[in-house]
Structure 1
């Protein structure tokens, strides 16, 4: 069933952006991957206004990316990624790696994502064919809804 609010009801990229496309939502997800769980910690780390953070957290919960639950002591709520939210890890890594290549001047300081076990940088994320051959846009095509099969 399609929602009349979808930007493009048949495009997975458009639907994803409709759900997560503002910068705050992806930065909240990024911080959750870094272990942030509490409202005030998200707020301080991001420098985001309370009302905007509340709105984005509600939206992330509504689409099943995060859930709210009591902390270990039961004194406060915390926000944690669901399986659906953890599935965004590759997306966040791909955005990070694009930024490493294109959003910094040579030699400019930046954070790094490292493999915990080795301390080495995370290898580049890249699509590949079933046989491991790297793919780029020239190697793929989108079959749009209503396109005849081949």
Structure 2
């Protein structure tokens, strides 16, 4: 079994954003450790294999570790996964379209110019539609 950086980045991203449980990421880590095809002398790899999944507040500690090391190292791959997730969530109606367009528009203006500019156009047409948080707290965020 070969693990690419993209496969690992996708799992890390899914864990950080609560798409998979702590138990699932722990099981997954144990399954890939022996097959990891990267530099096993890297500090990140050593931190990962010595991480105590039974420690108090392990879930938050693991998220912090992954955000600190993995996301910085593989930020571009993580951004691509984020884009895929937003698009999937829009299609599956897991998030409102205006929320997805806002996120994609923000990524476009952050330099990811492969994202169609159309999402910003769609967003400008939907500015009067409140986001879920605006419903909940009665605030206007734009």
Short-chain TM bin? 0.3 to 0.5
Which structure has more strand as a fraction of its residues?
1
Give the alignment's TM-score, normalised by structure 2.
0.38
Taking structure 1 as the reference length, the TM-score comes to: 0.37
